[in-house]
Amino acid sequence: MGLLARLLAQRIALGLVLLFAASILIFVGTSLMPGDVAQEILGQSATPEALANLRAELGLNEPPLTRYISWLTGVLHGDFGTALTNNMDIATSIGKRLSNTLFLAGCAAIIAVPLAVLLGLIAVRFRDRWPDRLISTITLASISLPEFLIGYLVIYFVAVKLRWFPSMAMVYDGMTLAQKLNAVALPVLVLVLVVLAHMMRMTRAAILNVMQSAYIETAELKGLKRFTIIWRHAFPNAVAPVVNVVMLNLAYLVVGVVVVEVVFVYPGMGQYMVDHVSKRDVPVVQACGMVFAFVYISLNMIADIVAILANPRLRHPK
């Protein structure tokens, strides 16, 4: 097996190990939640016989290891079970909610990634001058504020005062693409503000690092314009770290939308999980946790693979 194939196999194997470890943490964490699931479902007036029957039906009397193996086997076959609160198939419900979350994250990524690269290029072009300072100040201010605060500020000024977009991001089947984009405009704006700063600053740092190379100095001595040097010579050689940061932020967009979805009452994975946490619907919480873990670990693994393919130094021993 070649060195490149061995490195890729190692990254994939590490991703599978992390996913297995995440499944253990999710199962143990949900099992340690305070309270009695059967009591929560049946209410305080339930008889001891009814509670005992429900615990047996849910398999709560089984040893933890047996319950974990049974749950993990079902997950590997795409069976997350049924929700305790409404007896609906969890996989079907998650499929609808996940598509909404991916749509929201995709809209934010389409705006944030090109904008972050463009702002990074502008910051390098006008390094230590007012455009660079202005961009850095605005992006750092946005990343310093928590998502829920930015969300409420956007709702107050844009939705309540200006009435440009709805404050609740409700989407449903039958809506046109324009209607969906109008509905998700505010949560997309919040997500863009949250992830933009990190991507922009890493783009700026990666390009500035390349700008210190000898071939950049040669290009400057040839009389090439500053922006041409940055775009044609510096940026292509800084793509690897930029792609890595973009992939990590895409993972955050999918996994970190929980707060934004709750603020805007968006029918996505985050809202779905929070609703069922309050109801102590353990199978739903476990399923959502596994989906989030899979998405996050997969995107991080893809980022590592892209970095290996884009950077020859990572493909050869030091």
Neighbouring CB atoms inside 10 A of 62's CB total 14
Query: Which top CATH class is 99-278?
Result: mainly alpha
Q: Which residues contact 185 (CB under 8 A, 6 or more apart)?
A: 164, 165
DSSP structure class, residue 313: G
**End-to-end distance of the chain based on CA atoms, in angstroms?**
19
pLDDT of 53: 67
Q: Which residue has the tokens 């009695």?
A: 36
Q: Which residues contact 23 (CB under 8 A, 6 or more apart)?
A: 72, 75, 290, 293
pLDDT of 190: 85
Distances (CA, A) of 177 to 102, 171, 173, 174, 270: 14, 10, 11, 9, 22
pLDDT of 39: 57
* Cα–Cα distance for residue pair 18/24, rounded to 1 Å: 10
Q: Which residue has the tokens 């994939």?
A: 12
Nearest one of 241, 225, 243 to 125, comparing CA atoms: 225
Residue ranges per structural domain of the chain:
99-278
pLDDT means over runs of 10, the chain (318 residues):
72 85 83 62 63 64 75 79 75 81 84 82 77 79 78 82 78 77 84 81 74 67 68 65 73 76 81 76 82 84 74 57
Nearest one of 195, 231, 198 to 216, comparing CA atoms: 231
User: pTM for this structure?
Assistant: 0.75
**What tokens appear for 163 in the block?**
């009435």
The alpha carbon torsion through 63, 68, 74, 79 (nearest 10 deg) reads 100
Tallying the residues shown for the chain, one arrives at: 318
- Listed in sequence order, the DSSP H helices in 168-281 are 177-183, 185-210, 214-221, 226-229, 235-237, 239-255, 258-263, 269-278
**What tokens appear for 6 in the block?**
């061995």
Phi-psi region of 81 (alpha: psi -120 to 50; beta: other; left: phi over 0): left
pLDDT of 106: 83
- Listed in sequence order, the DSSP H helices in 126-184 are 130-144, 147-154, 177-183
pLDDT of 40: 60
Using alpha carbons only, how large is the chain's radius of gyration in Å? 24
pLDDT of 12: 83
Helix (H, G, I), strand (E, B) or coil at 108: helix
DSSP structure class, residue 77: T
Distances (CA, A) of 308 to 244, 245, 303, 304, 305: 10, 14, 9, 6, 5
Contact between residue 112 and residue 203 where contact means Cβ atoms under 8 Å apart: no
